[in-house]
Structure 1
Amino acid sequence: MTPVLAAVRTAGNRYCDGIAFRYAGLSAKDETMKQYDGLGFRPLKELPVGAQPRHLIGLPPKPPEVKGTGWTFVCGDARTAAWFVVEPIDIAARGFDTPYYRRSMVMLEKIKAQPGITKDQILQKFTEWERNEIYPPLTPLVAECLLDEMTHVKYIELRDGKYYLLERSLKTKYRSPCGAELISSTQGFPPGLRTPVREDSYGRTLRGFIESR
């Protein structure tokens, strides 16, 4: 459980959506195929006779056509056979992630003020002191990572190298650093007065699903 939670928290769906095995469907041992695949397996077109569906959750017999989200782990106790799916639903906003979240939200405001802005143009909106003296330093690589994360959870979208807000970011609520004033992202932030912090999030939020068979 812990490795899956840690990986999804860090990388979101990017941790698992590129794993080819996930989309290859079921297979069976077949030594006659070793000359082709190097190991000796053949793809199955349907569930094998006698297979228990509860043992095949997450492994469809036919290769899926759409990439999946989240990742899974299974309880090792055969009496429960609990199957868990964990997926990211938001970006981190609490604890040690707070500085990164604040950087993300300030960049979000730049995109709101100028839809279609590029990463380099976003960086130019900050003074040298704002870029380099506030942690984390807003280097091009840090900015790219944070923008990519916001794209991943659908706060923004990237089209032809330019960033645009998505509906989700317009519905997000923030509060001032002291927590005394709740404001909406649609109200904007006077420069230097407010640093947005998510009101309702704590750390990278994960949603877990449990199916018992």
Structure 2
Amino acid sequence: MFKVKATVTGFGKDETKGPCHFRYKVGDEVIYDGESMTGRICPNMMSAFSQAFQALFASGGRHKEGEVAGSYYPFWHSPQSVFDPAYTKYDGVGFRPTLERPEEGYKFIADETLFDNPPGGKFIIGKGKEKRELSLVCGDNHTRVQFKVEAFDLADRGDALPYYRRAMSILNRAAQKPGIAVNKILSEFTRDEIDNIYPSLGQRIVAILVGELEVMDYVDVKDGAVTITEKGRKKLKSFKASLTTEEKKALKI
């Protein structure tokens, strides 16, 4: 999941004759980080921002014509969970996976059990670095403020935080073993780390998180082999610096 930014890029009309009454200026930004918005939001753009931000938050701009952006969410492959503050040191929020609930007839099997039905019954594992930006235009015909909307980083707030931490743990493994195969990353975690940190891991969710790292240029993936980039090394260093001693020990970072 991704942080999304809308940037004012220009005006479709002469702004000196039809000024924006919200006083947007070229370069103004509105950012969604997975939990909150920062920046000034014109009420006439709320609906357009909401739709664009939701799509890019899910897909990072990788969704193609006819695809539902929400099909890219990693949480389709996550187990059910309960809130347990003792697990905050692992996922940053405090979710404990519950892989079995006999009283509900529930048993999570990685790569088989879906948390819920994806849009249209289809999930997508994103690959590659190609992503698109969205263009928005204010409906005020006197000014026509223009915006570029883009995914610019991994979301690390709200319910995206556990997935972000899992992605960073994968990035750390890739840093330790350059060229590791995507389908071998899972073997770098213990069974306890695979099952009992939210979200629990399987090959599908690992591939999805690698795809998110790839589209943000934190890793290169070639012929199924993952190599951390210089940008990825800087990101990993920043992530490590943000952790407490207890969190580093829990995540083995």
Band of TM-score, shorter chain: 0.5 to 0.7
Structure 1 residue 103 displacement after superposition: 0.4
Number of equivalent positions: 139
C-alpha distance after superposition, 1:90-149 (max 9, x if no partner): 011111111101100111011111101012211001111111111101111111110000
Gaps in structure 2 of 5+ consecutive residues: 1-47, 67-129
With over 3 angstroms needed to count, the CA separation of the structure-2 counterparts of 1:141 and 1:169, relative to structure 1, is: same
8 Å Cα contact 1:177/1:195 also seen in 2: no
CA distance in structure 2 between the aligned counterparts of 1:171 and 1:117, rounded to whole angstroms: 19
Correspondence for 1:158 among 212, 218, 221: 221
* TM-score, normalization by structure 2: 0.50
Aligned position for 1:10: 58
Aligned position for 1:146: 209
CA distance in structure 2 between the aligned counterparts of 1:97 and 1:9, rounded to whole angstroms: 10
Structure 1 residue 195 displacement after superposition: 6.5
CA distance in structure 2 between the aligned counterparts of 1:11 and 1:82, rounded to whole angstroms: 25
Aligned position for 1:82: 145
With over 3 angstroms needed to count, the CA separation of the structure-2 counterparts of 1:194 and 1:127, relative to structure 1, is: closer
* TM-score, normalization by structure 1: 0.59
Correspondence for 1:132 among 177, 195, 199: 195
CA distance in structure 2 between the aligned counterparts of 1:195 and 1:97, rounded to whole angstroms: 20
CA distance in structure 2 between the aligned counterparts of 1:146 and 1:85, rounded to whole angstroms: 25
With over 3 angstroms needed to count, the CA separation of the structure-2 counterparts of 1:68 and 1:124, relative to structure 1, is: closer
One-letter amino acid matched to 2:226: Y
Question: Runs (4+) of structure 1 moved beyond 4 Å?
Answer: 193-196
With over 3 angstroms needed to count, the CA separation of the structure-2 counterparts of 1:119 and 1:130, relative to structure 1, is: same
Aligned position for 2:158: 95
Q: Report the aligned-residue RMSD.
A: 2.5
One-letter amino acid matched to 2:185: I
What SS class does the counterpart of residue 84 from structure 1 fall into? strand
CA distance in structure 2 between the aligned counterparts of 1:141 and 1:84, rounded to whole angstroms: 35
Larger Rg: 1
CA distance in structure 1 between the aligned counterparts of 2:215 and 2:60, rounded to whole angstroms: 8
What SS class does the counterpart of residue 180 from structure 2 fall into? coil
CA distance in structure 2 between the aligned counterparts of 1:110 and 1:88, rounded to whole angstroms: 24
CA distance in structure 2 between the aligned counterparts of 1:75 and 1:155, rounded to whole angstroms: 34
With over 3 angstroms needed to count, the CA separation of the structure-2 counterparts of 1:85 and 1:176, relative to structure 1, is: closer
Structure 1 residue 69 displacement after superposition: 3.0
Structure 1 residue 74 displacement after superposition: 1.3
One-letter amino acid matched to 2:138: C
8 Å Cα contact 1:155/1:169 also seen in 2: yes
Aligned position for 2:132: 69
